[in-house]
Amino acid sequence: MAMRTRLTWLQEKCLQNYFGGKRLCLLYKASVQKFCEQDLLGKCWNHGPTMVVLNGENCVVGAYLREGFQKRETYITLFALRETEVSECLIGPHLPALLFYDAETSDCIPGFHIVLNEKKVTISSEICKKLGLPPQHSPMFIQDCETFRCEELLDERMTRDIAVIQNNLLQALRTYTPYGDLVPQARILLLGPTGAGKSSFVNSVKSVFRGSITHQALVGCDIDGVSDKYRTYPITYRDDGHPLPFVLCDSMGLNQKAGLHVDDIDSILKGHTPDRYQFNSMKPITPNHPNYIHDSLLKDTIHCVVFVFDVSSIEHLSYGLVAKIKRIRRALIKSGILHVVLLTHVDSLDLITKGDLIDICSCEPVKLKLEAVHRDFGFAFSDILVVSNYVSEWYLDPVKDVLILLALKQILYTVNDFLEDLPLNKQVSEEKYSNVCRKKRK
Amino acid sequence: MEVTTRLAWIQERVLGKLLGNTTLTLLYKSGVHGSCTFDMAKKCCHQGSTMTVVHLEQDIVGIFMLEHFPILHSGKPSTCVLFAFKENNSTGISALFSNAQVEINVSQLKFFSPDGLSITVHPNKQKVHLNMEVLKKLELNLKSYSEYLECEIFRVDGVKNDPSIIKKMVDVKQHRRRFLSALRAYRPSGNLVSEVRILLVGPVGSGKSSFFNSVKSAFQGHFTRQAVVGTDETSITKQYRIYSVKDGEGGKTLPFMLCDSMGLDEREEAGLCMDDIPHILKGHVPDRYQFDPCKPIVPRHVMSPPMKDRIHCVAYVLNIKSVNSLSDKMVAKLKRIRRDVVDCGVGQVALLTNVDNCDEVLDDGFVNMSESVTSQSQIKKVQNMLNIPIANILMVSNYSQERSMDPIKDALIFAALGQMLRAADDSLEDLPFEN
């Protein structure tokens, strides 16, 4: 039998979050090792903060030892976990070994003791009341006893290495060059429903590269959607003013009826729409518009489309909007334009905390959302990226930075795939253009 | 008092990836739990597989044990992996597979193997002995008897309890390198063409376009999305595409091309038109041709296209999870394609995608498919349905959800490509002289 916790992801998460964002490291499991307190103490002695979890038939009861099993007394918090509710009862300080019933002495923690070899725990009616357990609950028979060391989810060790990763990503992205130097900058179009986080993603990217929080792209929840203009946002590194080799293009939100017109999307993709063009959902841009870009080149077109969705709204999109997005996707496929999905605000999901962001795609609620996007829209799992935008923070967070930078890196790889996939004649003509530009620069 | 490992976080993750996708849980730390084997054994026995990590002044040396940690005053044989991080290199790790005897007594923890490897940890002296063979094979520049700063022992969760798979995990990088070298060195047989064309044909959703993306990803070292994949009511791929592949970022173009086609549909007048197949095989269909399920292509050329434009190998791409439930109509379409392929003298393989447990597909030496795999019902079915020899039934797992590259997947992809190129050579060698 393997050393694996009996707790579900949800149960483990509730306990983690309740006791201050701890990672639970399984040290002892009675059903694998032995229902014997000597074995438990041997495995768990001197491991720092420790949690003893008793699995009953219908609920989980346990004890959190602030300083763990040690010679000296420690503060003990008894708890019960039912569904996602944790009730607690603070006792102590006590010698931690006294949690276990010892027939040799009368010494034990009043009202709570674990009799491991008989697979039961006795709880006084007073403590049952505090833990929200029915009084007839005692003695409670246990199916397993698991003991965990509690570690910080984001310790100094991790934080230090994340900062290294963050810096490596920053340097890789600022030195990115589009495939074959076919264009000076990658142009990335953000498409998605109103309120999905398109503009706040732009702000987040800008903030990461600037090194401080910025709010240039307007964010809000107006009825008509705040982003009703077409904006192309260059990104600069720190404050040196030099633009990075990619541009984020923000558009009006998609809507089942109003919102961005599909013909306007076509114009954006082909590079005909000028910066700051005011969208009208009833009247797409035409060549007669005074600022229409007639002779667009590859450098003016969109090189990758990013469908942006707020992760918490996926299941609430109307049937009509889903159908519209599918239509847009089919049109993109037909045009040969590559695309990915970006799920934003992942930290707004139930129980997700900062400590989860590093391995965000292995969290159960996130997996469910990825499956929903795949099922409802048909996107491949590998094409779905996950981030947490900066919304109300005052300071940057390296963990969020890394998520944003990793997503951006995938987007730029996709741009390279798009450019590499262009028909040869388009690539050749753009090479000529690039040569002309290079000569002018000299 | 917090008990945390001395390993850097990145090192911990690298170790976790050494033998698959595992998680390390710290069980024993000499600076906290006592520098004696009694404490070591008490904390680590009956925990499952363990990793003993010795932190030296600048290097880290360790031993993975597949078997349970021994109880005090005992010994046992175990599958082991010796590994080392050298001089503060956080991500570079060398590893060595070994069948060792592990013994623990009151003064030492000892690993030794018949092939001359020996490591002994003396906790009460905080010293570790590495014999010359270990130092040489792990390329360590150390005295054989060194004082250590810390000894930590971890439980390894999520590792497969199979010595054969452990060995493959350790050896996979060298085999990946070997397969890659063979592909780089490949030249089409007889120099008749400069590039071989491999046609991917199969049901909608079987992983044809995804296979191309996976091939490109394996060469690039990062995930790529050049071919659109996903699901829709009909085939996502509606155009004929001829993809060339480069040997890594900025590398040379390799001497083969993957040709991607519209998916087959069991319904009549849906999916790839059967009448298009001979034209594709003969090289009449241009890149980016838009398929129409109801109307086959009308080739413009009357003359035979040159040899280089023909298809030299056909890969029937099938999702291994769907092989046993292919409808009779789909089977009939595949058989019809096979007749055209045979008539044109083109080589053929079957490519099974979506394989689980890709660490079990090839044998220990990564030379042949393992017997447990070739006896699967899906293999028999494909063999009978398409009359393809087992050696040409290939298995891969396309990149689909991973966020990082996997050398086992790469090795399978490269091996499959190699086999396709051999099938292409067979057909080139079999050509009548007048062509």
| Separation between Cα atoms, residue B3 and residue B33, nearest integer Å | 10
| Separation between Cα atoms, residue B322 and residue B67, nearest integer Å | 37
What is the average pLDDT across A202-218?
84
On whether both B231 and B366 belong to a single domain, the answer is yes
Is B4 within a domain? no
Cα–Cα nearest to A407, from A337, A308, A312: A308
Domain end (from B108, B138, B161): B161
On whether both B150 and B190 belong to a single domain, the answer is no
What is the average pLDDT across A145-169?
89
What secondary structure letter does DSSP report for A89? E
Q: Which residue of B has its CA nearest to A149?
A: B3
| Tokens of residue B356, six digits | 């689980």
Q: How many domains does chain B have?
A: 2
Best B1, B17, B91, B228 residue to mutate vs chain A (most A CBs within 10 Å): B228
What is the average pLDDT across A44-69?
91
Of A162, A326, A414, the CB nearest to B225: A414
On whether both A52 and A201 belong to a single domain, the answer is no
Is A94 within a domain? yes
Burial class of residue B414 (count of CB atoms within 10 Å of its CB; 0-12, 13-18, 19+) = buried
Exposed e or buried b per residue across B227-260, where buried means at least 16 C-beta atoms within 10 angstroms of its C-beta:
bbbbebeebbbbebbbbebeeeeeeeebbbbbbb
- Lowest mean pLDDT segment, chosen from A135-144, B251-260, B343-352, B373-382: A135-144
Burial class of residue A100 (count of CB atoms within 10 Å of its CB; 0-12, 13-18, 19+) = buried
Of A32, A45, A333, the CB nearest to B46: A32
pLDDT value at A105 more than 80:
no
On whether both A385 and A295 belong to a single domain, the answer is yes
In this prediction, residue B435 carries a pLDDT of: 45
Classify the complex by whether its ipTM is higher than 0.95, answering yes or no: no
On whether both B151 and B182 belong to a single domain, the answer is no
On whether both B271 and B416 belong to a single domain, the answer is yes
Would you say B7 and B15 are in contact if contact means Cβ atoms under 8 Å apart?
yes
In this prediction, residue B301 carries a pLDDT of: 55
Domain end (from A152, A167, A182): A152
CB of B48 within 8 Å of any CB in chain A?
Answer: yes
| Tokens of residue B85, six digits | 């991080």
In this prediction, residue B69 carries a pLDDT of: 95
On whether both A216 and A287 belong to a single domain, the answer is yes
Is B2 within a domain? no
Q: Which residue of B has its CA nearest to A74?
A: B1
Domain containing B207 — which CATH number? Answer: 3.40.50.300
- Lowest mean pLDDT segment, chosen from A301-310, B15-24, B84-93: B84-93
Which domain range does residue B67 map to?
Answer: 9-161
| R_g of chain B computed on alpha carbons | 26
| Separation between Cα atoms, residue A125 and residue A128, nearest integer Å | 5
Contacts of A305 in chain B (CB under 8 A): none
On whether both A286 and A368 belong to a single domain, the answer is yes
Q: How many domains does chain A have?
A: 2
Interface of B with A in 16-35 (CB under 8 A): 25-27, 32-33
On whether both B320 and B201 belong to a single domain, the answer is yes
CB of B399 within 8 Å of any CB in chain A?
Answer: yes
Q: Residue A273 corresponds to which amino acid?
A: T
What confidence tier does A91 reach under pLDDT thresholds 50, 70, 90? Answer: confident
∠ CA B232-B236-B239, nearest 5°, is 155
Q: Which residue of A has its CA nearest to B31?
A: A46
In this prediction, residue A223 carries a pLDDT of: 44
Is A246 within a domain? yes
Please give the residue that has the higher pLDDT: either A15 or A319: A15
On whether both A132 and A272 belong to a single domain, the answer is no
CB of B191 within 8 Å of any CB in chain A?
Answer: no
Domain end (from B136, B161, B186): B161
| Separation between Cα atoms, residue A407 and residue A409, nearest integer Å | 5
Domain end (from B128, B161, B194): B161
On whether both A349 and A207 belong to a single domain, the answer is yes
pLDDT value at B288 more than 50:
yes
On whether both A145 and A167 belong to a single domain, the answer is no
Is B1 within a domain? no
What is the average pLDDT across B388-411?
87
Task: Give per-residue pLDDT as tens, A400-425.
Answer: 999 999 999 999 999 999 999 988 66
In this prediction, residue B403 carries a pLDDT of: 60
On whether both A135 and A181 belong to a single domain, the answer is no
Which domain range does residue A187 map to?
Answer: 159-441
| Separation between Cα atoms, residue A366 and residue A352, nearest integer Å | 9
Cα of first residue to Cα of last residue in chain B, in angstroms, is 80
Would you say B282 and B344 are in contact if contact means Cβ atoms under 8 Å apart?
yes
pLDDT value at B433 more than 60:
no
What is the average pLDDT across A237-265?
85
∠ CA B260-B265-B266, nearest 5°, is 145
φ, ψ dihedrals at A180, nearest 5°:
65, 10
Is A2 within a domain? no
Mean pLDDT estimate for chain B? 88
Please give the residue that has the higher pLDDT: either B310 or A199: A199
In this prediction, residue A137 carries a pLDDT of: 62
Domain end (from A103, A119, A152): A152
What is the average pLDDT across A278-297?
87
In this prediction, residue B432 carries a pLDDT of: 64
